[in-house]
Structure 1
Amino acid sequence: MEVPVQGLGRVIRAVAVAAITATVLTACGPGGNTGSDTMTAREMMTVDVTLRQPAGPDSGEYPAPEDSAPIATPLETPSDSTTSGVATIAPEKAMRVPPFDEPKRFKEFSRQGAANVVAYYTYAAYYGLVAGKTDYMRKVFSPECSKCNEMASWVEKFVGENQRVETGVPRTTIIDVYSEKSSGKFFFWVVAENLEPPIIGYDAQSSMTGYDPASTSKSLYRVEFIEGKNVITGIFKVPARYE
């Protein structure tokens, strides 16, 4: 069961927050972290997300997602600098590069395809804030994903209330990917952690008119293969073992 969410800072961030996207992905190998690679936005869309050795079973029973939203944990250093407690975005770190038209392996239903679509969704969400449109993110989730829709609506509302929006590039780490078959349907669960930069809105005079602080969160994404492509059909709280 999905949980009601309020605000962007609560969709992807707390399992219900609108955050729009990721570029630097932590590379993990079997048994734990082995390093990290820094990639540009376009590289992220064409290079597979590096996965940790899955901790879950390849198939079989999996407990239903918990139905209470986690509390967002703010980053101690949310941005490059702050003014009166409000983070700012350094020009060289601002989100500005659009994602490719679709994530890599979009039409391949596999662990890698599922992980890629989750990373793409997050990046596309943040890009939508500065571009003023949610076209990219909407193509990778289904109407069934209520939190995805809430996030897209939050983005559109924030954009509509501000003349200009700035944000940084989030960092997404894919923690785990495993499969489940239930009632004749097969799907993947993707556990991901997002480090989300602040989102700042300005008016025509460059005065701040909107603000959503930086945060970090883990979320559980359900990915299904619908009409020949990977789509996110739900976002939930992560199982306790990943908290």
Structure 2
Amino acid sequence: MSLANPRILVIEDEPSQVELLRYNFTRQGFQVDIADDGEEGLLAAKESPPDLILLDWMLPNLSGIEVCRQLRRDKRTREIPIIMLTARSEERDKIRGLDIGADDYVSKPYLIKELTARVRAALRRPIARVFSGQLTVGALDVDIEKHTVSLAGKRLQTSPTEFRLLVTLMQSPGRVFSRTQLLDLVWGISSDVDTRTVDVHIGRLRRTLKQAGCGEMVRTERGFGYAIDG
């Protein structure tokens, strides 16, 4: 990705919204691709993954929610920042959008300045560095093959569950995962299991990192879930 000239994919079926977004983001130096229905947007994202996707909730052929869900299941597109655009403004709708993998949620009508700021923030999200089976965020290193964790060269002791939890968070630094997402990704179990399980293991992981001098690397997004910051 070139931060000076990022490419965004707008998946939106309202012509007036398409032109508004195309005009304003092109003026600011973005490359803008357009898809006017869910199936076309999904295909475009997979064939030529953009730097960021602006995704409308209500789309013909395939809903924005389902597009987002499928993008997050595909290795080619699962790390692309996705911002959902929708006229639905209730809190439960926001949580649902974030829960299936969107990075942010903007209600219509929106201010272009606010949307642009959110787009730029999403594009600045750090990317984990992976080399020879090692995952690195800040001073924290995980050797996926050897199943080890170290901070600035010092080995840390983690349980198997804490290790899987840490790897999941480190694969997308800065991205907030809901408790339901973490249950599915780390435990591989359905979302009807008590989400307090996640809180307990996050607490243990935090204590391990804090005792090693890592501070508050694991961030809580109040009312939603957790992220790890570099």
Q: What TM-score do the two structures reach when normalised by structure 2? A: 0.26
Larger Rg: 2
More strand by share: 1
Highest relative contact order (Cα 8 Å, sep 6+), 1 or 2? 1
More helix by share: 2
Q: What TM-score do the two structures reach when normalised by structure 1? A: 0.25
